[in-house]
Each structure stands twice: as C-alpha cells, then as structure tokens.
Structure 1
Amino acid sequence: MARLAAALLVLALAGIGASAQLVIEDVKRQIDISGFVVHEQLQLSLRNDGPAAAASLLLCDPNLARAAYLEVKDTASVKDAAAPKLAWQAAAAPAGAPAGVACREVTLPKPLAKKGTAKLTALAAYTHVLRPEPAEARQRDPQHVLFAGTAQLASPYKVTKQSTEIKVGGSVQSATEVSPYKRSGNTLSYGPYSDAAPWAAEQISVHYENNAPFAAAEVEREIEISHWGNVYVEERYHVRHVGAKLVGEWSRWDLTRDPKQFAKAGIPSFVAALPPQARSLYYRDAIGNISSSETRRSSEGVRVTLVPRYPLFGGWSSTFTFGYSLPLSSAVGKEPKTGRSVFAAPVGPALDDVVADSLVVKVVLPEGAKDPKVSLDLPFQLEQSLSYTYLDVLGRPVVVLRLSNLVQEMKGETLQVSYSYSSLGLLQKPLLLVGVLGAVFALAIVAGRGGLSSLAASPSVRNVVAKPHAS
C-alpha cells in the first residue's frame, strides 16, 4: 500500500506540472561580467494561467551548464536575506529549446494554484564563460575578452515584460545591439521587451577590456585535528592564469618600475582570509620559505597578502603551500545531547578571487575517533581511509571530500564532521611511551645483570680472583 501511495503521489505531481501553463509577467536580469566569474541576478514575477496547480519552474540559459552556483529564493512576502532557499535539480531541455541551452527545475515552495502569482529571485555564478580575444597579449597590453549571451531570457514560457542590464568592467570594443538598446558608461541596457514568445531570445556578444585576475586552481586542503589543543590546516595550490597568454619577452624591471602599466592583466599577489584565531602561519614552495607576504590582524579576521616569487601572466602557473593552525576550541565543539565531537569550518580554501576547479578536503581525525559523519550543503564525493603518523597504532580516520567548480560564494559553506571520541584516547600515546621506555629499561637491566653473572661465572675470572698476581 505504501508503494502504491508513493506511485500515485508521483503521478499526481507529474500531472500538476504537465497541466500547468506558467507565464512570466516580468523579469529583470542583471549580469555582471566585470570579473573572471560572471554573476547573474533574476527577479521573476510568475502567474499560472493553466487549469491546474504548478509544482515547479524551469530556469534555462545557454551559460547555465557552467553554473558553479545557483540560488533561488521565494521573495513574495519576505526580503531576499530572510527568504528560504528553494530546491532545484538538473533537468533536460524541453522540446523546441535552442541548441546549447541548459535547464534547472526549481521546486516552488507550494504548488501555484490557477491564477496564482509568485515572486522569485535567482542568483547564479558562471565560470570559464569569458574567452580571451585575442588569445595572446604582450606584457603591457590590456586583456580583452568576449562574452556571449542573450538579450532576452531563454525561457520555455511566454514572457510579458523583460529587460536585461549588463555591467562591463572596462572599455567596450563592440557589443551586439538589439533594439531598444542603450549604453551608459560601462553599463549596457537591453529592453524593455514585451510579449516575447517561448525561446524568443536573441544572441548577443560583448567584446570589452577585462583585466581582472583570471585565476583557476587545483587545491588540496588537509585539516588535522589534535585533541591536545590544535587544529592544523595546510593548503596546497596549483594556480593557473587562464587569461590571454603572454607572448614576447617580459621585463621584471619594467614591472617593478610601473606595475600598473606593465602588468595590467597579471596577478602580482593573492589575498587569504583567515579566522581571527589563526596563528603559526607559513608560506613556501619547492625552493623553500617565501618571505614576501604581509599579515594584518583585526577583530574580524586575519588578512594575508601572499606575493609569489614571480607574478602570474596568461598561461603561467605557480605551485605553493600555505598553512596555519587554530586553537581546538575555535573549531571543535560538543553536541550536548550525544556528546559527539563536532568539527566546523568553511569548506573552501583561504584564497579570495580564485576559482577552485577541483578541491580535495582531507579531515584527519584523532586516533581513536569513530563513526565520522559529514554535513555539507554542496554536492561532493566522499571517501574514507586511515592515516598513520608517529606513535600511531590503529591509525587515524581520514574523511576525504572531493568537490569541483567552487567560486567565492560557495567557499563560506560550513563543513561539519561529527565523530565519537573518548578523552581516554589522550592517554594512549603517553602510556605507549611509558610502556616502550619501561620495556627498554627492563631489557637493559636484565641484560646488565645477566652479563655480570656470566662474567663472574667464567673460569678465567675465577682464576684471577683466586690467584692474584705476585708482586
């Protein structure tokens, strides 16, 4: 009976979605292409003109396949900050959709009844959608990139009214004009457009100057928890500048003399944001410690400017390690009801304005920890293993998370790892040391006593004692 009821519920929801006929009464699009990551905000007003309630909404866009971050909120009755986030999932583009369009199905907070209305706000961040044009540049040349999108919303629904605003960081070389079109400084305005049919979205492109740091990285983040009082964090980076590739000679003298003129698109440094309790910082690469860094402490946190041995230009890369430690009390607490230990910290790496194409997070728990459980509001792959260090007998449980395509908005998501751990485990290493040293001393005592008795029992020693040498 339970399976039959579940099947009927699925069919009912499918019927609700199939019979609904949504209309977008108004949509305002704001697209920011001034940085390496493209940000888009949608403000939607919906109306259901169908005979039945609508349970979900399809959001579609040509760039949605490269969305690292998507957040949809119901803002009909509350402000954006307090609005609850709506669940969504990847969905196949419906029949009639243009080639290359990707879609996401958003579950509405409650089925939208006939003639019902709703207001939603969607935020999205796209990575690797800006293409350097030209693909190569000299040291003193600015970087120009090409953005491709649509003047209207690519939607399977009729759109009554809509407008699009694009914020450009630098000077515009060229932009597709779809009337009505207006350019004011570094802002391009398209629309308003009225009564657009489904999928009536015209392609546009913008060619403009963008000297933002195009930094992408593969990051391995290892967090070691010690109940002796510290949490050790080490982050290993392989950062690439994925902008226009540098051609021709480059001059460090020109760079030192006038960095704004001779490194317009270069990356001279990185900024790391750490908790206020961070201490024992280090920054090194394969050669050794890198001393070219600056640390500023405040009540809000620790800001560290990391200056690599050489600036990064297009096509260049750098590999380095950055680490610090935290007091155990600032990162690990106790669940009052269960008594389990809980480690909590942001999942993302410390560096700002760096897209993590891949991120591996290793949480090394203390030896004796059991039953680790992970909580994170991001998609990830989970693995578990054991790690051995000095004086370990059973090994330390290691929780390994693999994530991809992380942007700044996602790095602050809280990673929680809870585990069972007895305080008696702290005695394991001291008792092990005492036992080993006690065994060594016992063997030494036995060996010493055995050697003296065997020496006294030998004939030569007895003769020497019985017959002293005559003077």
Structure 2
Amino acid sequence: MSSGTTQVSKTSIPIPNDFKNVKVLRVLDARTNVVQEDIGIRAKNIADHPISEYYYTVPAAIDDHVASVSAFLRQDAKSSLTVEKASFDSEREVQLYKVIFDQPLHPDDDIRLGIHISYTHVLKPLPTKIPQVARQLLVYSGNVFLYSPYPTDEMKTTLQVPTAQIISFTGGDGIVQQKGNKLVYGPFNNIESNAFQELKCHFESTGPLITVTDLERDLQVSHWGNNLAVEEHYTVRNDGAELDDNFNRVRYMMSSQVHSATNMLKELSFEFPAGASNAYFRDEIGNVSTSHFRNERGRSVLEIKPRYPIFGGWNYNWYHGYNVDLRSFLRYQKSSGEYILNVNLVDNAKNMIVDHARVRIVLPEGVTDVQVHAPMDLDSIEHTKHFTNFDSTGRYQINLDKKNVVYAHQKPIQVSWGNGG
C-alpha cells in the first residue's frame, strides 16, 4: 500500500545568457519602515540577435516582502518600461521578473536601466523588547550583490540607515566602509551570476514602525451636491520593539523631553485635498478633541493625537472623514457623454505599510457602462450595489481590494461611466 506521500516535481526556468551587466550601482534605503532599492544597470547584449527582455530575479523568501517593482530607461529623458511578474523557478526557489524594452536591443549594444523595488516588513527590532525610555535598534539583512541571472563586470552597493549610530555590520570581505549613516560595499569586479553574500546591519532607529493592518476607504460621489465624501477607517500597529515591562504612566510623564528619541507613536498627520471641509476624527470611544484641522494653500491638514502613546506591539484604530469639491476629481467629456473620476487608491501612505486596503467607490444612482482602470495590479475588483434610504434601484458600488500597499501605489484609479444621475 502506498505511503500516501506525493512527490512534487520542481521546475527550473531557463534564462537565456543574452546579457552581461557592465556596471551595477545599488542603493538600499532603510531610513523608513518601507525599504527602497534603486538599481542602476548598464547591460550589454552579448547574444547574436536582438533582445527585447531583461530578467531580474528575487529569492522566494524575499519576494514575499516585495510590494512594488518598476523599471525605466536611464536616459536623458527617463521613460517607463513594462515589468511583468514572470514564472516561478521552484528548483532554485526564485521569482522571475521580466523588463520589456520598447525597442529591441541589437547585438553588442548597451542599455541603461533603472529598477526600483519597495520592500515591506524586512526591518526587525533587535532586541525585540526594550525599556519604556530607551533607544530602539533595528536589523536589516540583505545581499551584498545584485542577485542577477547575468554575470557582472563591476558593482557597488550602498546601504543608507537613519543615523550614523551603526552598531555592527557584516559582508563585503573587507571591501566596505562607513561614511556617516551609509555603508558602501565595493566596488567589486567579475561577479558571477546569482551571487549572494549576506549583508547584515544593526543600527539605531528612533521613531515607530507604522503598519496599517487594515485600511477601509469609502468614497461617495454626488452629482447633485457636487461633492465627494471621503471616510477612512484605520487600524494601526507599531511594529517596533515592544516594552520589556508594564507601561508606567509616571515614568511616561517625567520623560517627555526624550520621547522623540524612542519608538513611541504620539501623533499622526494626514494631508487632504485643498479646500476639504467638515473634517472629523473619531475612535471607538467617540470624538477626539486632541486634533487640529486647517486649510493651507494647495492642501488641507489633519493632525491627530491618539488617546494614548502607541508603543511597540500596541494597536490603535479610528476613522476620519471630510468633504471636497467634486470638480477637482471629476471631468465630463461632452463628445462621449462620459464621466471620468480620478481618485488615489490610497492617500498618506508615505513611510507606512498598508497590509490590506479596501476601497469602496459609490457612484450616483442610474450610472451605466462603469469601467475601472488602475495603474497597478489589484487583488480584486467587484461591482455591486449600495442602498440608502432614498434609493430605489440602489447606487452603483465598486469594491477594490489590494494587499501589501506602499507609497508607490498612491496613484490615481480612473473610473468612468455614462448617464450619471
């Protein structure tokens, strides 16, 4: 009788040896909760035929933390390039990404590429627990080299952290130097494909690691009132080092002068569109008076203070909202009789990780031919109905869903429809 175990065959994805990286310059920015990687590549077509695709690979364990990947030509006028998430190589356990050129690259020609990647949840507190009034230390682990399927003639990697208080670092085989808050690895020469050497840095980082575990955005369009009503529900967690003992209110009050050097979250600031009005801020208990709203030239600002300081591992949830003139976001095309709404998928995502964002857009009753156009991949788009007391057939509602959202996703979603009510 069979033991019941099933052997799963692993697949190796062949990548043509069409390129050589002539020079690679990498900059890893770990100054905020979202780590950014900027890669400048000069690659040469070493094949005997034109090439239209350049492959970039990410180890599976790291790919789970990749929130966004973009590419562009590093010419005088930068132009965006298409990036596709290609096959998964289960034998080597790497995810393949494919950069597609607008024009084929001829043999022996060079191309200058830029690749930008945002990573979430890659910074970890070490130690994981600290006293209430103490400086936080984080650790970052990565690769000294570009994990590339192509060999590289010359490479340099720079890691940037918040301060010059770097406790320790590894990697580089001695070819590394600290310059203030930067570690410069290399230059290295004649690097083989798929090269890996662990880069680890232990450094001081004041301030919280803000993760929005759940974000719900409700946007309601009113032609009749020429209004866009926005309400956002936040659940926030501080992913920084936790307290090693119970919270002490007296110690908190007596140490106010050094709070900025710790990882506690005491206040938040949100930018709203210019001319926003009727702003409000409430949590589970009710209206929070420790908030300030003001209109400035070109923007509106809501500053809020939670009812208690949010230490590492602590959570807080609330919702806020405002109204704004619909004309700033909606245009009408007379020729086609079509309305086009432009609203961001998320707002205020800078230096935050949004684990899960749900966006609901409610359109006027009676709209037809609703189309959604997004500049990023969404996990789901659902078309449904929204009923209020005075609706007969219900208003058209679009539900957008996306996980692992960062500032790179703070881009306009375009919704179009006809016969607006």
TM-score, normalising length from structure 2? 0.90
**Higher RCO (C-alpha 8 Å, min separation 6):** 2
SS in 2 for 1:366: strand
Q: Residues 234-313 of structure 1 correspond to what in structure 2 (within 5 A)?
A: 234-259=231-256, 261-262=258-259, 264-313=262-311
Of 158-167 and 353-362, more deviation after overlay is shown by 353-362
Query: Residue 161 of structure 2: which of 165, 168, 178 is its match?
Result: 168
In 2, distance between residues paired with 1:251 and 1:19? 61
Note the aligned Cα RMSD (angstroms): 1.9
1:9-88 alignment, distance < 5 Å: 21-62=18-59, 63-76=62-75, 78-79=76-77, 83-88=78-83
Q: Percent identity?
A: 26
The structure whose Rg is larger is: 1
* 1:374 match: 372
In 1, distance between residues paired with 2:296 and 2:232?
22
Query: Does the 8 Å CA contact 1:61/1:153 hold for their aligned counterparts?
Result: no
Match of 1:214 in 2: 209
Looking at structure 2, the residues matched to 310 and 236 of structure 1 have their Cα atoms a distance apart, in angstroms, of 18
Query: Which secondary structure state, in structure 2, belongs to the residue aligned with residue 87 of structure 1?
Result: strand
SS class of match (2:193): coil
Distance 1:204-1:93 versus aligned 2 partners, 3 A rule: farther
Cα deviation for residue 53 of structure 1 reads 1.9
Q: Aligned pair in 2 of structure 1 residues 164, 148: CA closer, same or farther (>3 Å)?
A: same
Matching residue of 1:320: 318
Distance (Å, rounded) in 1 between the aligned partners of 2:87 and 2:184: 30
Unmatched 5+ stretches in structure 1: 1-16, 426-471
Indicate conservation of the 8 Å contact 1:277/1:330, yes or no: no
Per-residue deviation at 1:257? Answer: 4.2
More strand by share: 2
1:249 deviation in Å?
2.4
2:47 & 2:154 partners in 1: Cα distance?
19
Residue in 1 that maps onto 2:219: 223
Match in the other structure for 2:396: 397
Aligned residues: 400
More helix by share: 1
Q: Is the 8 A contact 1:235 1:349 kept in 2?
A: no
Name the CA shift for 1:334/1:289 in 2 (closer, same or farther; >3 Å). same
Alignment CA distance shift 1:28-1:260 (3 Å) = farther
Secondary structure of residue in 1 paired with 2:334: coil
Q: Deviations over 1:100-133 (max 9, x none)?
A: x433111122222110110011111100011221
**What is the match of residue 190 of structure 1?**
185
Aligned match of 1:409: 408
Secondary structure, counterpart of 1:309 in structure 2: coil
Q: Secondary structure at the match of 1:139?
A: coil
Q: Deviations over 1:245-295 (max 9, x none)?
A: 223122344434433524610111111111102110000011110111123
Report the Cα offset of residue 58 of structure 1: 1.3
Unaligned runs of 5+ in 2: 1-13
After superposition, the Cα gap between the structure-2 partners of 1:260 and 1:378, relative to the gap in structure 1 and judged at 3 Å, is farther
Which residue of structure 2 lines up, in the alignment, with residue 418 of structure 1? 416
- In the aligned structure 2, how far is the partner of 1:255 from the partner of 1:349? 32
C-alpha distance in 1, partners of 2:309/2:334? 49
Contact between 1:20 and 1:52, CA under 8 Å: does it hold in 2? no
Over 6 Å off, 4+ runs: none
Relative to structure 1, the CA distance from residue 350 to residue 278 in structure 2 (aligned partners, 3 Å threshold; closer, same or farther) is farther
Residue 30 of structure 1 contacts residue 41 of structure 1 at CA under 8 Å; is this kept in 2? yes
Instruction: Provide the residue aligned with 1:440 in structure 2.
Output: none
Per the alignment, do residues 103 and 131 of structure 1 end up closer, same or farther by CA in structure 2, a change over 3 Å counting?
farther
Q: Which moved more, 1:343-352 or 1:230-239?
A: 343-352
Deviation at 1:353, TM superposition (A): 2.8
Normalising by structure 1, what TM-score? 0.81
Q: Secondary structure at the match of 2:306?
A: coil
Amino acid paired to 1:36? N
Q: Trace 1:332-347 onto structure 2 (pairs within 5 A).
A: 332-347=330-345
CA distance in 2, matches of 1:301, 1:225: 20
Amino acid at match of 1:261: V
1:133 to 104, 126, 138: 126
Answer whether contact 1:219 1:349 (CA < 8 A) is retained: no
TM-superposed CA distance for 1:297, in Å, is 2.4
